[in-house]
Amino acid sequence: MGRIIHIGSDHGGFELKSELSAALNRKGYSVDDLGTFSEDSVDYPEYGAKVARAVLKDGDFGIVICGTGIGISIAANRFKGIRAALCHCSEYAKLAREHNDANILALGGRFIDFQTALEITDVFLKTDFLGGRHKRRVDLLDNI
Ligand code: RB5
C-alpha cells in the first residue's frame, strides 16, 4: 500500500489514536505517529499543527483526534492547503473526500467508538475526490 498516514491527538484522543494507529499498521499503512504519547493533559493546537505541517510537506493524509474533534480540526484548518473534516459517520467521510477533497480526517475520541472510527477511516482513505465543479470550489478555499 505504501501510503503514509500522519496521526496526532491530544490526551482526549490518545486512546482512540493508539487503537487506530495499530489497526492502520495491521492494514499495511505506514503510520507516522506525531503524539501525544500518554493521557497527560496537553494542548490540542500543538498536535493539530504538527499533523497539518506533515501533510503539507508530504502530500499525504492526516488524522487528528481530540475529545470532540473540534479544537484540533480548527487548529489544522488554520493552515492554507489543509482541509480537515470532522466526521461522525462514514457518509460524512465519503462526502468529505468526494466533495471537499479533505486531506485530514478529524475524529472525536470521546464521542465515537473504535469500530465506528475504523469504518470512518477506511471510507476516508479509500474514497477519491470527484473533481469537476467541486474542484472549482475547493480551489476557491485557498483564495479566501
Ligand atoms: C480537552 O479537555 C478537550 O477540550 C479537547 O480534547 C477537545 O475536545 C477540544 O476541542
Question: Taking CB atoms and a 6 Å cutoff, what residues make up the pocket around ligand 1?
Answer: 10, 12, 44, 66-68, 70-71
Q: Verify cis geometry, omega within 30 degrees of 0, for the bond prior to 121.
A: no
| Predicted confidence (pLDDT) at residue 104 exceeds the cutoff of 90 | yes
Over residues 64-72, the mean pLDDT reads 98
Strands laid side by side in the 104-108 sheet: 30-33, 4-9, 61-66, 104-108, 84-86
| Distance in Å, CA 94 to ligand 1 centroid | 25
pLDDT score at 1:
46
pLDDT of the residue at 3 = 79
Find out whether 88 and 25 touch, Cβ atoms under 8 Å.
Answer: no
Q: Work out the average pLDDT over 82-109.
A: 98
Q: How many domains does the chain have?
A: 1
pLDDT of 2 over the 60 cut: no
The model's pTM is 0.97
Atom 8 of ligand 1, residue of closest alpha carbon: 67
Average pLDDT over residues 79-97: 98
- Grid cell in block for residue 35: 503524539
Smallest CA separation from ligand 1 atom 10, residue: 71
Average pLDDT, the chain: 96
pLDDT confidence of residue 122? 98
Boundaries of domain holding 17: 4-142
Write the CATH number for 17.
Answer: 3.40.1400.10
Instruction: Give tens-digit pLDDT for 10-67.
Output: 999 999 999 999 999 999 999 999 999 999 999 999 999 999 999 999 889 999 999 9
